[in-house]
Structure 1
């Protein structure tokens, strides 16, 4: 995909440094606090319509289980080579054990993952079916979670763990999917770190004072209370979000329109999308942006350089169906292809 000439010039000038930062990802130590979710994908072949009700009968073929929500954020960091401490809650159930096993196999520290016996592990089960010689399509999604807040004692334990370990990490990331882990107590503990990155679906003001926020366009619109339909709206929203959050930086991700960085100092920078033609699934792409961006910052990149790395990483995972991750090798290759 052809990029704007001025941006290509900027990218070329920064290329050596970007490759250098990617080499440093494995040195980073990150603590990720999030709503740990398990994504399940059940697929099978449609055999017939049920006699019991006008619904499809699907013969099960396979089940795939991958980290979702805040767990996907954790997993993205590990796949990019970082040393990761996961902080969050799982239920006393099979799904929680699966998350633990996935994390353990990826070398993720799970001492901060606590069992909440009163609430289930957040699980999103997508059931898909196909006929012979046809594509597989999602039919229904079943969500398993509780709307009750975690017990106060668990909140205190999470906050204490964050406080005890924040001096041992280069950054703290809050991955808030609205499932109850990031309560006021937990959030306050996370915000004590000078390099706190926030990815939340709502209530950005709860994280006031964080270094950087990464809302997507709908989340930004919800936070400012108006539609972002023009470049003028976008600039206004960026400034309003900086005021609302008291953050040093706001990065609004805008899908195929790229992303726009706003700095407290007054800077506004647009980064175009690096992949518009091979987009199959944007599920989890925001987690990938946050992971690569954060690791860029810990390596010494400017926020603009880090955002470019996040954009590169996202351009890779959207080519894959379902929740996906990438690696530094793939990002290097994507960067090299852009420069050629």
Structure 2
């Protein structure tokens, strides 16, 4: 059990942690309105839009989570040279995220996912994206931006949505540069790209992703989970593997398997909970927490955001309040 004093000691240090987030940058658009009738042109609802709002998505949602917890963030990714790209930069600046590492690519659009909602229900989603690999020139620009700022960061968080940014070459060079400068590298991967991240410090797949990597449909026991986490750690030469398991909590593996059960009070929306987990976990590690302490703190942060509607973040004060409200549960973990 982590004490309240130890929790506050770790969280207080978040303010001085500097994280580089590298990954597929996206903008989430929400068009919210009312439906009063069906279109005479086709059997579809007519939505009278009353509100439009934009939220950082993809890897930039990881950055948003980090800033919400008072970490300092540098982002590295690609957007289009378009109006949505300008909106994206504005959202970063509004969240106090440094956008200097962003590269504009004339050949692709800014990734945007537009959701049409009415009465709390999503009626439609529209995606603008191009998921072909970025060019070698764009990769070189990103690497140059990253390497020239490497001394100003404490750790690297790679957020892979498989949208063409994190090529094998780019991923391997990021890890090589980070290790050369003794920086931790944590990866939130996609199964088809696991082998791009050999030599990273840690990886945080979810249950489906690790099953897909091993070509399995399900785990039959806790022992099998531990076995596969150990195998993944050896395959990719990682220091540790952190497996997020939704309602089953999280499993940690360095030398042995340790499971931390979920502490969510209520679950309304799991959107972005994985981003919250990995952000809080890496901040905690950089703030001096061990693997177990970081897992407990990140699990609490995830428990906070799943009780909110939509893509959400947690704050330092919310984590401390959550601990105090659930200390009877946490003392048994």
TM tier, shorter chain?
A: over 0.9
CA–CA distance in structure 2, aligned partners of residues 119 and 22 of structure 1: 39
The residue number in structure 2 matching 1:45 is 34
CA–CA distance in structure 1, aligned partners of residues 20 and 211 of structure 2: 28
The residue number in structure 1 matching 2:222 is 231
**Partner residue of 1:164 out of 142, 145, 148:** 148
The residue number in structure 2 matching 1:251 is 242
Trace 1:264-279 onto structure 2 (pairs within 5 A): 266-275=255-264, 277-279=265-267
> 1:71: Cα distance to partner?
0.8
> 1:45: Cα distance to partner?
0.9
**Partner residue of 1:145 out of 129, 139, 142:** 129
Unaligned runs of 5+ in 1: 1-9, 131-135
CA–CA distance in structure 2, aligned partners of residues 18 and 209 of structure 1: 30
Q: Is the 8 A contact 2:226 2:256 kept in 1?
A: no
CA–CA distance in structure 2, aligned partners of residues 56 and 104 of structure 1: 36
Q: Is the 8 A contact 1:74 1:84 kept in 2?
A: yes
Trace 1:127-138 onto structure 2 (pairs within 5 A): 127-130=116-119, 136-138=120-122
CA–CA distance in structure 2, aligned partners of residues 311 and 229 of structure 1: 24
In the comparison of the two structures, how many residue pairs are matched? 321
Give me the CA root mean square deviation.
1.3
Does residue 1:182 correspond to 2:166, yes or no?
A: yes
Q: Is the 8 A contact 1:78 1:108 kept in 2?
A: yes
Cα distance change of structure 1 residues 90 and 278 upon mapping to structure 2, 3 Å threshold: same
Deviations, residues 287-312 of structure 1 (Å, cap 9, x unaligned): 11111111111111111111111111
The residue number in structure 2 matching 1:307 is 295
Trace 1:40-119 onto structure 2 (pairs within 5 A): 40-119=29-108
> 1:152: Cα distance to partner?
1.6
Does residue 1:33 correspond to 2:17, yes or no?
A: no
TM value normalised by structure 2: 0.93
The residue number in structure 2 matching 1:221 is 211
> 1:124: Cα distance to partner?
1.0
TM value normalised by structure 1: 0.91
> 1:174: Cα distance to partner?
0.2
The residue number in structure 1 matching 2:271 is 283
CA–CA distance in structure 2, aligned partners of residues 167 and 51 of structure 1: 61
The residue number in structure 1 matching 2:331 is none
Q: Is the 8 A contact 2:27 2:57 kept in 1?
A: yes
CA–CA distance in structure 2, aligned partners of residues 229 and 115 of structure 1: 46
SS of residue paired to 1:191: helix
